[in-house]
């Protein structure tokens, strides 16, 4: 006897978790398949959200649409899941040159930037903590989401509602029928893949140019009570108890989910160039990010199978992108919206 549900989701990383929670909020029945992987990017990711990124300090892609919607989502989920994982924090980025000072000062008069800039410092402001001879910029509406806590709370919620199967869904055993799919005894209107970088092994989405990237991070002991993210070359994220997370490397040739001496040396070098205060390394770990060729997510449905979809390839910005594109995907399924052309996976047909 078969069991009918609305949506099957493959993967319970940040994309799958956010999508499942939003579908349930819309009254949909879901079943999530997830095979636990300690190297999953969502588990090892720092979870930082930051509206102004990159060496040139430009506004992140779609920042005006993403903020504050994703923040409201995580706040609501903290209440629903009875867990604390959203942590707003000031974010300080030291300038490299006087040109950076002038450039950022000019951006304070631009409406698209001013709402994200808390203060521009034209002289050293945190010289006892970081090396900032030219000053820096303090960013507003930044912080981090503790993804392991969010994912574990979501896992518990899905298990309690009998909406999670802890195991592998074999795509070769999926039966595609008119208007529905069937896997073992479960019949669903749609199946959505949110399984990270592994889609290269998925027969339905071989045409998508995933470019997985390995990132290595350090955990350090840092005897500083300052609760602020620092970022230049690497980020330093305070995690309480005198500890901080430092990252990250970007490696696209060696995709083994293991730490390397090369990665460790790189992080130490960048950290030494940034921090004034001494630090002690207490851990070193690595994960694989589901990045894409054009650094845009893959959202939408298979060109030949309208019941097989994807929400994936969120890269380093999964915390901010997942809520927005989960909403887009759900609206598309319900027939009330379209998928952004820059994110629609059909752009690679």
Higher pLDDT, 43 or 120: 120
Residues 62 and 324: beta-carbon distance below 8 Å? yes
Same-domain pairing of 218 and 282? yes
Same-domain pairing of 131 and 269? no
Same-domain pairing of 187 and 166? yes
Pseudo-torsion of CA 145, 155, 287, 324, nearest 10°? -50
Residues 182 and 175: beta-carbon distance below 8 Å? yes
Angle subtended by helix axes 69-81 and 147-160, to nearest 10: 50
62 falls within a domain: no
**Could you tell me whether strands 186-193 and 3-10 are parallel, antiparallel, or unpaired per DSSP bridges?**
parallel
Peptide bond into 248 cis (omega under 30): yes
Token duo for residue 186? 């479960």
pLDDT of residue 197: 73
Q: What is the overall mean pLDDT for the chain?
A: 93
Same-domain pairing of 198 and 341? yes
Same-domain pairing of 128 and 158? no
Same-domain pairing of 223 and 283? yes
10 Å Cβ neighbour count for 112?
A: 11
Strand partners, 244: 220, 238
pLDDT of residue 255: 85
Same-domain pairing of 23 and 152? yes
Same-domain pairing of 30 and 157? yes
CA 163 from centroid of its chain's CA atoms: 23
Q: For 61-87, write each residue's pLDDT tens digit.
A: 999 999 989 999 999 999 999 999 999
Same-domain pairing of 300 and 338? yes
58 falls within a domain: no
* For range 25-38, the mean pLDDT: 89
77 falls within a domain: no
Q: What CATH number does the domain containing 280 carry?
A: 3.30.9.10
Token duo for residue 275? 């921090």
Q: How far apart are CA 46 and CA 42, in angstroms?
A: 8
Q: For 314-345, write each residue's pLDDT tens digit.
A: 988 999 999 999 999 999 999 999 999 999 99
Same-domain pairing of 206 and 298? yes
* Length, in residues, of the chain: 349
67 falls within a domain: no
163 falls within a domain: yes
SS3 52: strand
Q: For 294-317, write each residue's pLDDT tens digit.
A: 999 999 999 999 999 999 999 889
3-state secondary structure 75-95: HHHHHHHCCCCEEECCEEEEC
3-state secondary structure 121-153: ECCCCCCCCECCCCCEEEECCCEEECHHHHHHH
Q: How many domains is the chain built from?
A: 3
205 falls within a domain: yes
Please, which residues have CB within 8 angstroms of residue 162's CB and are 6 or more apart in sequence? none
Q: What CATH number does the domain containing 338 carry?
A: 3.50.50.60
pLDDT of residue 236: 96
123 falls within a domain: yes
Please, which residues have CB within 8 angstroms of residue 155's CB and are 6 or more apart in sequence? 12, 17, 34, 164
Same-domain pairing of 135 and 11? no
Instruction: Please determine, for residue 38, whether its predicted confidence score (pLDDT) is greater than 60.
Output: no
80 falls within a domain: no
Domain that holds residue 28: 3-45+148-210+293-348
SS3 323: helix
Give the chain's end-to-end CA distance (angstroms, integer).
38
Same-domain pairing of 303 and 340? yes
């Amino acid at each position: 006897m078969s069991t009918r549900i609305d949506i099957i989701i493959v993967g319970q990383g940040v994309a799958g978790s956010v999508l499942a929670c939003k579908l349930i909020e819309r009254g949909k029945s879901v079943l999530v398949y997830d095979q636990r992987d300690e190297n999953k990017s969502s588990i090892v990711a720092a979870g930082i959200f930051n509206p102004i990124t990159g060496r040139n300090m430009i506004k992140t892609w779609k920042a005006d649409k993403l903020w504050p919607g994703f923040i409201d989502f995580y706040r609501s989920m903290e209440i629903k899941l009875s867990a604390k994982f959203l942590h707003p924090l000031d974010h300080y980025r030291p300038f490299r040159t006087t040109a950076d000072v002038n450039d950022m000062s000019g951006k304070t008069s631009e409406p698209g930037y001013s709402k994200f800039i808390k203060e521009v410092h034209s002289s050293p402001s945190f010289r006892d903590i970081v090396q900032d001879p030219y000053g820096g910029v303090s960013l507003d509406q930044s912080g981090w989401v503790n993804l392991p806590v969010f994912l574990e709370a979501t896992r518990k919620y899905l298990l309690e509602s009998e909406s999670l199967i802890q195991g592998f869904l074999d795509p070769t055993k999926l039966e595609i029928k008119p208007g529905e799919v069937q896997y073992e005894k479960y019949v669903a209107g749609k199946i959505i893949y949110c399984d990270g970088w592994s889609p290269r092994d998925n027969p339905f989405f071989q045409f998508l140019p995933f470019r997985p990237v390995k990132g290595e991070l350090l955990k350090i002991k840092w005897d500083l009570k300052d609760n602020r993210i620092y970022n230049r070359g690497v980020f330093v994220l305070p995690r309480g108890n005198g500890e901080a997370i430092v990252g990250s490397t970007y490696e696209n040739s060696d995709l083994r989910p293991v730490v390397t001496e090369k990665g460790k040396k790189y992080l130490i070098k960048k950290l030494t160039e940034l921090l004034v205060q001494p630090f002690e390394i207490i851990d070193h770990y690595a994960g694989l990010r589901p990045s894409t060729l054009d650094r845009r997510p893959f959202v939408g449905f298979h060109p030949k199978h309208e019941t097989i979809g994807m929400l994936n390839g969120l890269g380093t910005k999964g915390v901010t992108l997942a809520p927005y594109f989960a909403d887009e995907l759900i609206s598309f399924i319900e027939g009330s919206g379209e998928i952004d052309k820059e994110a629609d996976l059909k752009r690679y047909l």
